[in-house]
Amino acid sequence: MVVTDLLDAFASNEPVPGGGSASALAAAIGASLLIMVAGLPKTKRGAPEEAADLSEASARLRPLRDELMSLVDDDSDAYKAVVSATRLPKATDAEKQARRAAIDTAMRAATETPLETMRVCQQAMRGATIVAAAGNPNAASDTGVAVELLLAALRGAALNIAVNLKGLSDTSFAARVSEEARQLEADATADAARARELLAG
């Protein structure tokens, strides 16, 4: 989509794209900003090792950015599957049982998608610390925006997970996802704080 069409899609009263897709998109923009800064010819101090670190960071960030772009659509597809499952017939006990199983399967997928967004955001945030340490200081604001976008995206994905877990009957899966999401947010928050320190220094 062109940007205006994409924004119109988010603004529509259709159920998708929604917050999960918006989180993945925000993270993809953040990763793109980091790639841009990492590719600038000037580094923080002009040291060769800085250029090498930035080149490596860029190489790692590119596939993450691509995965985040895929997650924009994946999140919408996952939610569509949930909607389809809720619309299954429920007139008989057999239909109710089949519908419940379909909803559980769809909800699990709809939970795993934002969890993957959180994982990719956390990996990209690691790249942000490298870019903050070695990147061109004239682009410090670009790196800073990337950090904030990635952190907001990760927390947005966490919000979707929390809502989806309420609709799941698999308590062991819910506990595992909750713990991983908590750890991912803690790690990303720490990396974001480190990146901010490096940018301010």
pLDDT the model gives residue 32: 98
Mind listing the domains of the chain with CATH numbers?
Answer: 3-200 (1.20.120.680)
List own/partner pairs for 188-193 with CB under 8 A and 24 or more apart. 188/118, 188/121, 188/122, 188/125, 188/150, 188/151, 188/154, 189/151, 191/122, 191/125, 191/126, 191/128, 191/129, 192/125, 192/128, 192/147, 192/148, 192/150, 192/151
- 37-56 core/surface letters (b: 16 or more CB in 10 A; e: else): bbeeeebbeeeeebbebbee
Under a CB-based contact definition with an 8 Å cutoff, are residues 111 and 164 in contact?
yes
pLDDT digits (tens, 9 = 90+) for 102-121: 999 999 999 999 999 999 99
Is the overall model pTM greater than 0.85, yes or no?
A: yes
Q: Which residue reads 């899609």 in tokens?
A: 9
Taking all residues of the chain, what is their mean pLDDT, rounded to a whole number? 96
Residue 132 in this model has a pLDDT that exceeds 70 = yes
